[in-house]
Chains A and B, each alone.
Chain A
Amino acid sequence: MSNVLPAGTSAPDFTLAATPDQKFSLRDLRGQPVILAFYPADWSPVCGDQMALYNEILPEFQRFGAKLMGLSVDGVWCHRAFADARHLHFPLLSDFEPKGAVSRSYGAYRATDGTSERALFVIDKTGTIAWSYCSAIDVNPGADGILDALDALPK
């Protein structure tokens, strides 16, 4: 497992595409908490799927005014098909070219598999990492850690 950037580190900025015609820059989200959920790949099995779970929990995240973004090395068309199939209501960012560059900058890249780790970051409104966690690749880390981290942010 790689060493993900720890709490207190300034979150590396990035601009990534979520769809063929939509890009997100981290710096544009200053002023609100951001949840970055790095995950290995689209299309893992349904009921226990981490992204599907976060999709269900979105209202809980929104209570904190937090913006959730998923992130993997899959391409935008793959993300679009996956998001459509699962009715996901949050953006999936494509760390596709150069492959895994953003994942690497967060210490969340698995070079052996060529995918992102299953890693979570809660970034505060000033752009500093408030909490990070790297899960075993085959374990859905759930949302309790994220919710606790959002709870602990200064109001």
Chain B
Amino acid sequence: MAELRVAVTSKDHMQGPEDAPVTLVEYGDYQCPYCGQAYPIVKRIQKHFGKTLRFVFRNFPLREAHAHAESAAETAEFAGAHGKFWEMHDLLFENQEQLGGPLYLELAKKLGLDPAALKQSLADGQYRNRVDSDFAGGTRSGVNGTPTFFINGERHDGPFDYETLSHAIQGVTAQ
């Protein structure tokens, strides 16, 4: 069973209480259609488990397969540096079909971020290292596609439909 090798730290993007009994980590790619499918499922899971769940999102852009995966990840990181990670994360998944420069600038504007600064940040690859480091950590933890979930550090190998995922989380909570 593959295990999460890179522990969750305060540098991660997380939602939910730090001392929640269950931590769900997703390695995802904003352009991956399966991650797009998983997005509303994770929302439902978060709603269902409430304060007993902490959710962490890490980047695993499949750059060769998805032309916009890297730029979308860097856009979310840019927003994160300005306190708007989750807002951007959500908007990117909700607009997955339109990923690309024009959408990023529009979303930045919508979130009150400086579009010019975002443009510069993407051109400079300001958050490339951050995304790379998420990716490298994922490869060491046995991420073998996207999305890959870890529940309290253990890779979830089954399907990620709501029933399966919530059942797996329930199983960990009951321990």
CB within 8 Å of A: which B3-51 residues: 5, 32-34
Q: Across the interface, do A86 and B65 meet the contact criterion of CB distance under 8 Å? A: yes
**Complex formed: what's the CA distance from A142 to B139 in Å?**
8
Contact of A144 among B34, B63, B140 (CB under 8 A): B140
Chain B, residue nearest A57 (CB): B139
Q: Does residue A48 face the partner (Cβ distance < 8 Å to B)?
A: yes
Knowing A47-B146, A53-B145, say if A87 contacts B64 (CB, 8 Å). yes
**Complex formed: what's the CA distance from A57 to B142 in Å?**
12
**Complex formed: what's the CA distance from A50 to B2 in Å?**
16
Question: CB-CB < 8 A to A87: which residues of B?
Answer: 64-65
Q: Does residue B136 face the partner (Cβ distance < 8 Å to A)?
A: yes
Q: Across the interface, do A147 and B65 meet the contact criterion of CB distance under 8 Å? A: no
CB within 8 Å of B: which A43-87 residues: 46-50, 52-53, 55-57, 60, 86-87
Q: Does residue B105 face the partner (Cβ distance < 8 Å to A)?
A: no
Question: CB-CB < 8 A to B32: which residues of A?
Answer: 47
Q: Does residue A143 face the partner (Cβ distance < 8 Å to B)?
A: yes
CB within 8 Å of A: which B59-103 residues: 62-65
Question: CB-CB < 8 A to B142: which residues of A?
Answer: 142, 144
Q: Across the interface, do A52 and B62 meet the contact criterion of CB distance under 8 Å? A: yes
Chain A interface size range: 20 to 34
Write out, one digit per residue, whether chain B residues 126-155 have a CB within 8 A of any chain A CB (1) or not (0).
000000000110011111111000000000
Q: What does DSSP make chain B's interface, helix, strand, loop or mixed?
A: loop
Q: Across the interface, do A56 and B140 meet the contact criterion of CB distance under 8 Å? A: no
Q: Does residue A105 face the partner (Cβ distance < 8 Å to B)?
A: no
Q: Across the interface, do A142 and B136 meet the contact criterion of CB distance under 8 Å? A: no
Q: Across the interface, do B62 and A47 meet the contact criterion of CB distance under 8 Å? A: yes
Q: Across the interface, do A147 and B139 meet the contact criterion of CB distance under 8 Å? A: yes
Q: Across the interface, do B139 and A144 meet the contact criterion of CB distance under 8 Å? A: yes
Chain A, residue nearest B142 (CB): A144
Question: CB-CB < 8 A to B139: which residues of A?
Answer: 57, 60, 142-144, 147
Q: Does residue A2 face the partner (Cβ distance < 8 Å to B)?
A: no
Question: CB-CB < 8 A to A107: which residues of B?
Answer: none
CB within 8 Å of B: which A27-57 residues: 46-50, 52-53, 55-57
Q: B: which residues have CB within 8 A of A?
A: 2, 5, 32-34, 62-65, 135-136, 139-146
Sort A-B residue pairs by CB-CB distance and give the 4 closest, nearest first: A142-B144, A48-B145, A144-B142, A140-B144
A-B contact pairs, 13 of them (CB 8 A): A47-B32, A47-B33, A47-B62, A48-B145, A52-B65, A55-B64, A56-B63, A56-B65, A57-B139, A60-B139, A142-B142, A142-B143, A144-B2
